[in-house]
């Protein structure tokens, strides 16, 4: 029993020694990689620094480009405005000059036309004067002739008008007489109707009161018998 325990203790001791040896070997291996890790860390820092430098430079260049673009645009705008003002000025001057030239040209042409008309009318005037005298005589002659014709025509027309007026008056008189007759007939009819109504009312009021009660009752019964015969009941 004791032997077995001793063997077990020895095996444990060997195991511990083996573990310690493996730990030693691992630590040494890690120590071998340490320089490489430091190099990698240095490279990473260097790359990051270089990247930052590139980024800053890029931003600076971009800002510069934007400033240049803005400046160029403003410059172009100023130039455009200046050019526009210059062109407007040139146009104004050109238009005024053109107007002035046109005005002068029109005045000249007008004066020429007027002068040409004046010359023509002065020659025509004499011709018109002589032609006018001849025409006046012709008109006078024609007028005299026309007046004579009109006088004759008017005389016959007046006679015709008188005849037509007589006929119209006669016709109107006949129509008026017919209207009066119709009116008289109408009034007579109305009068007849009124006479009839008055007569009827007077008869109804007087005759009814002259009949005594027994006769009234008898007449009613006779009427009802008649209704019976006519199958009303």
Partner 1 sequence: MVNQEGILTKLTEGIYTQEDLELLLGDVEEANRWVYKGGSVPLSKKISGSVSEGFRKKIESLESEENLPGNRKELAALFRNLLENLEKMVKAKLTLAFAPSDEFLTKLAGWFEAQTGKKIVLDIQIDESIIAGCRLEYSGEYRDYSLGEKLEAVLDQEIKGLV
- Residues of this chain that interact with partner 1 (CB under 8 A) are 188-189, 192-193, 195-196, 199-201, 203-205, 207-208, 211, 213, 215-217, 219-224, 226-228, 230, 232-233
Cβ atoms 179, 185 nearer than 8 A: no
230 backbone dihedrals φ, ψ, rounded to 5°: -85, 10
1/232 with CB nearer partner 1: 232
56/190 with CB nearer partner 1: 190
Minimum gap (Å) between residue 183 Cβ and partner 1:
16
118/230 with CB nearer partner 1: 230
Minimum gap (Å) between residue 230 Cβ and partner 1:
7
Q: Could you give the C-alpha distances from 233 to 172, 219, 220, 221, 229, in angstroms and in order? A: 64, 18, 15, 14, 9
Minimum gap (Å) between residue 174 Cβ and partner 1:
25
68/197 with CB nearer partner 1: 197
Minimum gap (Å) between residue 215 Cβ and partner 1:
7
92/204 with CB nearer partner 1: 204
Q: How far is the C-alpha of 149 from the C-alpha of 143, rounded, in Å?
A: 10
Which among 21, 25, 1 is positioned nearest to 13, based on CA atoms?
21
49/216 with CB nearer partner 1: 216
**Half-sphere exposure (CA, 13 Å, Cβ side) for 13?**
6
Q: Which two tokens stand for residue 95?
A: 């238009």
Q: Could you give the C-alpha distances from 102 to 92, 99, 107, 146, 209, in angstroms and in order? A: 15, 5, 9, 57, 118
Minimum gap (Å) between residue 222 Cβ and partner 1:
8
Q: How far is the C-alpha of 141 from the C-alpha of 135, rounded, in Å?
A: 10
57/228 with CB nearer partner 1: 228
Minimum gap (Å) between residue 191 Cβ and partner 1:
10
Q: Which two tokens stand for residue 41?
A: 């860390």
Residue 233 per-residue DSSP state: -
Minimum gap (Å) between residue 218 Cβ and partner 1:
9
Residue 211 per-residue DSSP state: S
Rg, C-alpha atoms of the chain: 73
């Amino acid at each position: 029993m004791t032997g077995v325990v001793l063997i077990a203790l020895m095996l444990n001791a060997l195991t511990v020694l083996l573990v310690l040896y493996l730990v030693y070997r691992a630590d040494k291996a890690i120590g071998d990689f340490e320089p490489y890790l430091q190099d990698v860390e240095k490279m990473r820092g260097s790359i990051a620094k270089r990247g930052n430098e590139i980024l800053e430079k890029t931003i600076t260049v971009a800002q510069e480009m934007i400033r240049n673009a803005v400046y160029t645009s403003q410059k172009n705008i100023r130039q455009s405005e200046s050019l526009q003002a210059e062109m407007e000025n040139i146009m104004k001057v050109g238009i005024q000059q053109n107007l002035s030239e046109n005005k002068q040209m029109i005045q000249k042409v007008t004066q020429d036309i007027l002068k040409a008309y004046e010359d023509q009318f002065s020659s025509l005037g004499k011709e018109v004067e002589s032609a006018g005298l001849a025409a006046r005589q012709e008109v006078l002659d024609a007028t005299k002739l026309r007046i004579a014709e009109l006088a004759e025509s008017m005389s016959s027309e007046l006679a015709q008008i008188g005849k037509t007026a007589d006929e119209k008056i006669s016709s109107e008189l006949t129509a008026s007489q017919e209207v009066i007759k119709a009116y008289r007939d109408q009034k007579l009819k109305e009068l007849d109707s009124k006479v009839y109504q008055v007569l009827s009312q007077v008869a109804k009021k007087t005759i009814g009161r002259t009949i005594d009660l027994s006769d009234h009752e008898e007449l009613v019964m006779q009427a009802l018998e008649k209704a019976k015969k006519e199958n009303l009941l």
